[in-house]
Amino acid sequence: MATKCGNCGPGYSTPLEAMKGTEAPDYLATVDVDPKSPQYCQVIHRLPMPNLKDELHHSGWNTCSSCFGDSTKSRTKLVLPSLISSRIYVVDVGSEPRAPKLHKVIEPKDIHAKCELAFLHTSHCLASGEVMISSLGDVKGNGKGGFVLLDAETFEVKGTWERRGGAAPLGYDFWYQPRHNVMISTEWAAPNVLRDGFNPADVEAGLYGSHLYVWDWQRHEIVQTLSLKDGLIPLEIRFLHNPDAAQGFVGCALSSTIQRFYKNEGGTWSVEKVIQVPPKKVKGWLLPEMPGLIT
């Protein structure tokens, strides 16, 4: 990165100073991962987005291992949801893998009109030939943990995955396990709470998430809500990498815990804390102790 003065080093003096820098669009970086390549571990291409203030988040493929038995399917498109703008970018990574190009832009108005959702976060492909993307809120920034469905061929917005009126109070990440007829989603906070940055008063007011939502995969509805002990802001969630597994883990950022969720013999689900990362004493932050902020 170019410097702005003759007597300073590279980059910026603090992250805050970097945030004050020149506005630029987000970009998708391509890294060479061939150990035999002279460019191994180097960024070989950057694809800038055509808009500012998108904040690209958890990308996903147009198709995945759930379509393993279908030879007509291939991973040629990468779906990039935007947290702030609510746009969705579809990138062609198949035509020229070393230099991806923009395939389609889905504007927020299409998502707002068909889904009444916004602030998009995580993208996963489904065996049904669709792509599913989680949301944090509605168009006005209120909490609403719903799911946008796209056609994985045309990338047209089809509507919501959940039943009408059946969204979770808050949203963030999700993972599904069809062999157990289940999906579990996590929650952060309403976009209106997050907009101005972290405020300890919002924690005291109970505005940050502390639940997991268990969904019936076939009926597309919440069947159980799990309250987390020492589990503020459950973010990334994963089942074990086995399609038969009936357990997984979620990282809780503010509480700095990892929680294990699992299926009981009767078919219900439970959760337990399995790891606790102690906070560090700090100076100059909002609180006297800083949590590990596990994601």
> What CATH number is given to the structural domain containing 129?
2.130.10.10
Q: Is residue 187 part of a domain?
A: yes
Q: What is the mean pLDDT of residues 222-244?
A: 96
pLDDT single digits (tens) 60-88: 999 987 777 778 888 999 999 999 999 99
**Any idea which residue has 């147009």 for tokens?**
62
147-151 and 157-160 beta bridge pairing: antiparallel
Number of domains in the chain: 1
**Model's pTM, two decimal places?**
0.91
| pLDDT computed for residue 4 by the predictor | 45
Q: Is residue 258 part of a domain?
A: yes
Distance CA 233, CA 242 (A): 26
Q: Is residue 203 part of a domain?
A: yes
Torsional class of 54: left (φ above 0), alpha (ψ -120 to 50), beta (otherwise): alpha
Q: Is residue 23 part of a domain?
A: no
Q: Is residue 275 part of a domain?
A: yes
Inform me whether the pLDDT recorded for 22 exceeds 80: no
Q: What is the mean pLDDT of residues 255-268?
A: 97
Residue 199: CB atoms within 10 A of its CB come to 13
Q: How confident is the model at residue 196 (pLDDT cuts 50, 70, 90)?
A: confident
Q: Is residue 237 part of a domain?
A: yes
Q: How confident is the model at residue 2 (pLDDT cuts 50, 70, 90)?
A: very low
Q: Please give the distance of CA 279 from its chain centroid, rounded to a whole number.
A: 25
| pLDDT computed for residue 68 by the predictor | 73
Q: Which residue has the higher pLDDT, 198 or 146?
A: 146
The boundaries of the domain holding residue 76 are: 49-290
CA distances from 43 to 55, 57, 85, 92 (A): 20, 19, 26, 18
- Two tokens at 129? 């030939």
Q: Is residue 11 part of a domain?
A: no
Q: Is residue 20 part of a domain?
A: no
| pLDDT computed for residue 150 by the predictor | 98
Q: How confident is the model at residue 13 (pLDDT cuts 50, 70, 90)?
A: confident
